[in-house]
Structure 1
């Protein structure tokens, strides 16, 4: 088992192959979250689908309708098959696809598209339906895991006392759902090892979610930070920022409590995103006496998101259930030092003293110490920011696209040799 774990979690560059591969792949991707949803898994899936389409492949995505009625549309070269949906009732931005009629629809879709591979991004409603359809039609199945039970506990109102047994049931269900996948990936070696630790007895490959280095980049010779802050409506002060959902598992209370503990005059926290915890965080800022130094930007349109990073001096992230963190990659690509909780996969992105610091989760004093050190030193910010950008280059999404192309072609080839 130790040898399996080592092999499964090791990131290796793909080797060139001489096997015949389809020049134009047909890929059917299934997901329960897709734009306009705002989360890392949705953004990754859209970037994957649109990136493959831009390379000339035929890409279809099955996902939930954002407003209820089913429909099909071509967006950025991708054919979106939106299933009828309803509100989840547990979160304002989460909608659930409705299973009635979906199996027959997926059967017809697979017969028409004849995909070389089906790629599911989760094992919930849409993912589970598509897994079953792929098995019925003997289409090779690729799966990417973005799941941890901790990311669902808040939405499902699971009491603290029940979270461990509920987590065990959730992992057992995960193992059962994906046991027949030909190839399983997840964003980081830590995330791959997590699956092995939870009893998933199959090799798991770490393939980064990737980042668009052309879209996310340092300010350079463009608008200075003061101008960028003015465009966002925030004061020109030493700034640390967080981009993401304002939900319980993100532990943003650490960030708010760190504000008054920083030793740099006027240091402010900028939060870009929406979520169930916003009201509680606003009250906490009042209690901490820093309401004037915690800025809530709310939802930031996708096109404006790079401005948030360029307007900041440091990026801070307190979550303890991150399997990679696309927001942290975006911040690094934007040339920001990072202070992150020393938890899950974040240490894969932050090297202590090189491009930032790792702090003890739940300790706003520890967080504030590192934020203060970076905010007080322009030289450190510049050096660490350059290191972040260099480290982010290893996660160029074009490399991730290269790898997924090879995975699809390989599983399709193996299927054809089996007579699938």
Structure 2
């Protein structure tokens, strides 16, 4: 198949180089590579968001990245990106007309709008490819988690979901939310976010630099999360006040953050100082993905207090490195972690609940080790990018018209069995 991946706001080239970047960028980069490994030809279309980017470059064998000019050459906030989606759609239409794909797959609501516009206004209307769309996050889910309401975006997400041939979501939670919007279940496929199990492994070295010298073998707890609303960093600091025996490292993610200039970082550092835990709570800048496994392996437990985590990617990476997990049951995390087998799932990220669950793991080293072993095995068997690509390709096949001549899988890949 010739596949067009549309990720207007992603930075696939940054993810390709291993730089700190967003989950969408990692997803499109890894998916494109593994689809190519399956024999498909893939082109990724993204917005030109930085000076000096090549208009066209290779991300690997069988994968081409094309940067489309639409707006300023810098990263844009969500509301800014939407202002340039029309221009992006026109550029996309020209590229798709010049090199027609068999299927178009959009990521994120602005990319969905661009893909629909480009295909529906194509100069080759009789040969319009089917559109598959992935929602990494839905505003209706974000509102339930206490994040901001975006009425226009929510309306657009509902419109996209009802107009494309197939919808792919990364968790059963999102499938439920789409059902509430009236999207037929048979048109929605659950294919989770993946993890690079060749890079995130149990074997390998550990990092010592960010940690303080061991004090009576103090347990080390790590979190990789955003510092703003929904990330749960405040709850983690509160949790640390209830566990005087631990050392906590909070790594900012997924995008690069300059801590001295970041308002949330300054607020959290002040909170840690006022709570008298600043001697054992550390905030750390985003880590190059090449170094992240060493950092994860240096910890004893991974913890997440996020109220909204549509990807679950950081949790999967910790599991692949053999860490037991304590996390709130939200988004992709719910499908990734098996409560009582690979870690502990909590209904909410209340500091008292986090502390109680974490203390239970720290007091039971045998259980902690068993959870770590089971987590690594689950990551390798259920969440590899090669399996994600294979399941996604089955969704493409189901979206193709019956007359296309493409082989159709005997089984519908509409639900990911965890």
Q: Same fold (TM over 0.5)?
A: yes
| Structure-2 change in CA distance of 1:310 and 1:90 (3 Å) | same
Q: Which residue of 1 aligns with 2:174?
A: 191
Q: Which residue of 1 aligns with 2:108?
A: 122
Q: Deviations over 1:234-272 (max 9, x none)?
A: 544411111233221212111111112115x24333424
Alignment check: 8 A CA contact 2:240 2:246 kept = no
Q: Which residue of 2 aligns with 1:229?
A: 207
Partner residue of 2:316 out of 310, 316, 329: 329
Unmatched runs of 5 consecutive residues or more in structure 1: 1-24, 154-159
TM-score by length of 2: 0.81
Q: Which residue of 2 aligns with 1:245?
A: 226
Q: Which residue of 2 aligns with 1:394?
A: 382
CA distance in 1, matches of 2:237, 2:310: 23
Question: Over aligned residues, Cα RMSD in angstroms?
Answer: 2.8
Question: Which SS does the other structure have where 2:242 is aligned?
Answer: coil
Moved over 6 A (4+): 94-97, 150-153
Q: Deviations over 1:303-351 (max 9, x none)?
A: 1121121111111111122234111111111111111113444332333
1:75 CA displacement: 2.3
| Structure-2 change in CA distance of 1:229 and 1:335 (3 Å) | same
Q: Which residue of 1 aligns with 2:194?
A: 210
Q: Deviations over 1:84-127 (max 9, x none)?
A: 34356658xx9678346544432221122220100001121x43
Question: Which SS does the other structure have where 2:290 is aligned?
Answer: helix
CA distance in 2, matches of 1:211, 1:329: 6
1:373 CA displacement: 2.0
Does residue 51 of structure 1 match 2:34? yes
Q: Which residue of 1 aligns with 2:136?
A: 146
Q: Which residue of 1 aligns with 2:306?
A: 319
Does residue 259 of structure 1 match 2:240? yes
| Structure-2 change in CA distance of 1:281 and 1:404 (3 Å) | same
CA distance in 2, matches of 1:266, 1:106: 51
| Structure-2 change in CA distance of 1:95 and 1:242 (3 Å) | farther
1:69 CA displacement: 6.7
| Structure-2 change in CA distance of 1:312 and 1:216 (3 Å) | same
Question: Which SS does the other structure have where 2:270 is aligned?
Answer: helix
CA distance in 2, matches of 1:307, 1:408: 36
After TM superposition, list the pairs within 5 Å mapping 1:2-151 onto structure 2: 25-31=1-7, 32-35=9-12, 36=14, 38-68=21-51, 71-77=55-61, 78-84=63-69, 85-86=71-72, 87=74, 90=77, 98-99=84-85, 101-124=87-110, 126-137=111-122, 138-149=128-139
Alignment check: 8 A CA contact 1:188 1:206 kept = yes
CA distance in 2, matches of 1:152, 1:353: 27
CA distance in 2, matches of 1:298, 1:151: 28
1:175 CA displacement: 1.4
Q: Deviations over 1:274-324 (max 9, x none)?
A: 555222211111111111212222021121121121111111111122234
Q: How many residues align?
A: 375
CA distance in 1, matches of 2:103, 2:30: 18
Unmatched runs of 5 consecutive residues or more in structure 2: 15-19, 123-127, 407-418
Does residue 405 of structure 1 match 2:393? yes
CA distance in 2, matches of 1:370, 1:294: 19
Alignment check: 8 A CA contact 1:64 1:95 kept = no
| Structure-2 change in CA distance of 1:210 and 1:282 (3 Å) | same
1:362 CA displacement: 4.2
Comparing 185-194 with 341-350, greater Cα deviation is found at 341-350
| Structure-2 change in CA distance of 1:64 and 1:235 (3 Å) | farther
Question: Which SS does the other structure have where 1:111 is aligned?
Answer: helix
Alignment check: 8 A CA contact 1:83 1:98 kept = no
CA distance in 2, matches of 1:150, 1:240: 32
| Structure-2 change in CA distance of 1:235 and 1:250 (3 Å) | same
After TM superposition, list the pairs within 5 Å mapping 1:295-306 onto structure 2: 295-306=282-293
Partner residue of 2:161 out of 157, 166, 178: 178
Alignment check: 8 A CA contact 1:341 1:358 kept = yes
Alignment check: 8 A CA contact 2:5 2:44 kept = yes
Partner residue of 1:342 out of 329, 344, 347: 329
